[in-house]
Structure 1
Amino acid sequence: MRPTLDVGHTRTVAADDRIPVLVYDDGSPGGAIAFDRALDVAARIVVAMTPASPNHTRNVAAADHAGTPVHVVVLGAGDDVHDAICRCADESIHLAFVPRPAEHPGRYVRRIVQAAGECQQAGHGVLAVSVVHPDATVTGPVVELDPAHSDSGFAALFAAGLAGTLGRPLHILRLPGDRTNAPVRDPQALDRARRFITDHDVAAFDEDVDGDPIVTARYHADGASSVVLALGGFTVHGRKPTAPSEIPDAVLRTPDGEIAHSLVADAPADIVLVLDAIHLEHGHVARSAAIGAAVGAITVGVLARGAAGLVAAGSGVGVAILAYQAVHHHLDRLDESGTAGGVATQGA
């Protein structure tokens, strides 16, 4: 087991720094835990819950005790995490907490990817999804996984903001491989992450690691407070004939997809998936052809007031607000320029 690093208590989130969030309550005990995570940062909560969730009374009481407004949306019979996350676009919400899946983690990740693309189609420029583990430690470092074949830039920025807010060290793992020709899908976001680390004295440690990337990721997730991983930069064509509304399994056969699948399935930490530049095309894979998705992922502590530009941030959670605003600002500029990335193609 990785040793934990106790470097102080999580900072209190001021009322002005809280944001609206969405919680997917699937009726399991994990749905209640995801709700509790959301209470730590929420100005208001939209709960997308399965019909007759046993958590409903308990969640509403907890929100009332915390003084947090709650709006409940009852999902249809058979709806899942995809349908819950799609509500983010309707509610102008950029942060979602979802419970760790009890089974079929691959399908769970694919449904999150599809929902993110559909939110982008609706004009929702950034979406944060945290897959909450019930036994995640709160004393470990924030671990950022840096793959060799590509880099989104957004993952680095979110990881830095999260570490700064939680007062945790940032452990950047550079996974094995040749980075000579690896594209950075958003160099400005990566540059902002580096400046953020320097300007706000984030204790950051870089480490080049060897061996199997999945084994390495799992090893370092044990003891981490959260693991940040980018997943994107590809185009998905076609559809599964047995499930025409879903993106294909090929998404999880990318290097990042395999790591995401493994971590969501088994890692004892909150997994922060940073999805960007995902294009879903053809058939019923998405609601229309050629959807561009630029999706950020953050977890407890990486906050914003909804402002679109960089501003001078105060103490406490201000460091995380600055990081999130940098992402939000850059995505706005991407929307204005109409540019989007895509570095690989996956078929059904």
Structure 2
Amino acid sequence: MKKAWKLLCALLAAVLAFGLVACNPEKGPDDGGNGGNETKIEIAGTYSIDLSAMEMPLTIYLKVEENGDFKFSNTKTFEMEKSSGTISKTSTDYLMLYKKVNGNDVTGKTCNLTKETNGNLKFVGTILYASVTIPSPMQNEDTGDDVYFFGVPVTGDEGGESGNTLEIGLYKWSDEKNQYYLNLLEGGSFTAFVYYTGMASGYAYDYGTYTKMGAMCRMTSSVYKDAEDKTKPLTESVTVDTEGVIKADVKLTPFAKATKEITLTAVTEKVDVALTYEGTKVMPPMMGNATYNLELTILSDGSYTFTSTNVSGEGEPYTETGFIGLENNMSGKGVIIPQGVTTAGEITIGEDESITFKVPVVTGTPRGSVTLAPKAAA
């Protein structure tokens, strides 16, 4: 009898133990609380998506739960849901399956996600946000380049109180063979100017557009192509950590097979002169055959000042500023982007190192071709 009683107690304890586990509200019957998934999804977290590339001054937010549920919102508190669904892991990336968009049930709507090495999420497909459909990539109307949207992890301070916001401005990096300047400009464009030495010495450049959110800046190059897909522009990045260290992952020269991680410092001093050119231009008879002296000064960050002065002293000199990029070893070409202009003009570099490009010589006249020679050292 005593033996039977012990057996009954053991059986009852087992049943109670099973019941307690099965009824634990924090765990599901299949997976220990991960919504049916045996493992937690690796990309769980909160992300911000900058939509300024669509000419929309808007940042939206994505929250991914550990069980793969996701939702978009206009705030980090996610009080208002704009769309939602589930994310599953595929063999190569992740697949978003939308279930609700703008409060309505949907079926068959998906978007692919790729996790980048820096933790960002790259959207490949369509972001459905309330009544807005956001293609990724979308085509930049000015350059024709494809622009992808990225989810940047929200760190909690968003680059605020910790002082790790990446500021617009001029940055520099150098070593024994390279000197690199990066200028993050107002309006979402960037320029870069490089001087390098070694087996070959010369200049290189980069320019394009960027999107910035807190401590992260993602740049889309108008010069270089993606190493794996030559139909797509190269994506470069700049980040600043909580200690204020600024890291950039950029392509330095056309010779480089891959991007390079460098540490940038903000430029607070006057930038040195890198190159100077000079020449003359005789205007057509309708402008009195006037002769103008032309001077061009290019600083080490690629910024330039062009000045045209009538040799007779009549009239006011014409002055133009902007960015010039030169690549004198592989292409023998360059670009000129005047201040306030988004479309780059072409520069041709001659065998004698002269440069030919279009610029107004007189205020109010169209851009005409000029050829300038390197200025002799004083």
TM-score (norm 2): 0.26
**Using CA pairs below 8 Å that are at least 6 residues apart, which structure has the higher relative contact order?**
1
Q: Which has the larger radius of gyration?
A: 2
Structure with the higher strand share, 1 or 2: 2
User: Which one has the bigger helix percentage?
Assistant: 1
